[in-house]
Amino acid sequence: MKAFIAILTGLLLCSCADMYVTRSQVNGGGVAAPVDAKDFGSRIRMITANCGVGAYGPSAIYIRPFCIDTASFRGDEAQSDGELPIRKALTPVEFAQDLKEQLEKMAPARILKPNEVPRVGWLVDGQFSLVDGGSPAGRFLLGQFGVGQSLLALHVRVTDVKSGIVVYEFDMSGGSQLQGKLGTVRASGLGRATHFDLQNAAERVYLTLSTNPYRYGARANVSLPE
């Protein structure tokens, strides 16, 4: 019986629609050091050591809509082939809005216009590599076995604007996974899955860049033994 419960729990966990960080790179929270006067011709920016401590506490967060020109765009994304280019062009805008909603939990966040350049804080940008809405018909028939599942893959870059250092860089992928026709709060079921995937991805970016988003270990008061 215990083995059956363990297997059932594993299946339920595997079926959760979500996004996951598949690869990451941390360049630390170091800052640019002043260039020595005798090195006036040098173009090398020296970085101070930071003992492996990551960047944190941005004064502001600026979001540039992610590039999607080279992304593979397929599956259930539009009502017709004629509408598909419009949906593709608006996907980065939708994701930027989702990101703003999530990242403003950390600091004031703003979506940049094409001609705007931030001066302080963090700049979050990147590119999509795959946007696949999957198949609602497949999810209706055999969604619990992975048929018709959606998939979203993207690359995220976080740059400290003042120093010009890319402090965090990571790849993400995920989708509806083993969701069936009913869906969940995080999956569309028979609806358009990409909207859910974009929301899940934006939330995962926030969770990845936060120190303790779930407030684990937080206490109203503490009593320690003597």
SS3 123: strand
208: its two tokens: 């990845």
Structure confidence at residue 15 as a pLDDT band (50, 70, 90) = low
Q: What domains are defined for the chain?
A: 17-30+57-209 (3.40.50)
Distances (CA, A) of 3 to 7, 40, 89: 6, 69, 48
Stretch 175-180: mean pLDDT: 76
pLDDT tens, position by position, 114-148: 999 999 999 999 999 999 988 787 786 666 676 77
Q: Are strands 165-175 and 72-74 parallel, antiparallel or unpaired?
A: unpaired
- For residues 145 and 166, what is the distance between their CA atoms, to the nearest angstrom? 39
Stretch 148-165: mean pLDDT: 93
pLDDT tens, position by position, 33-81: 444 444 434 344 444 457 888 999 999 999 999 999 999 999 878 888 8
Helix, strand, coil content of the chain in percent (nearest 5)? 30, 25, 50
- For residues 210 and 156, what is the distance between their CA atoms, to the nearest angstrom? 15
Flag the least confident range among 25-34, 39-48, 105-114.
Answer: 39-48
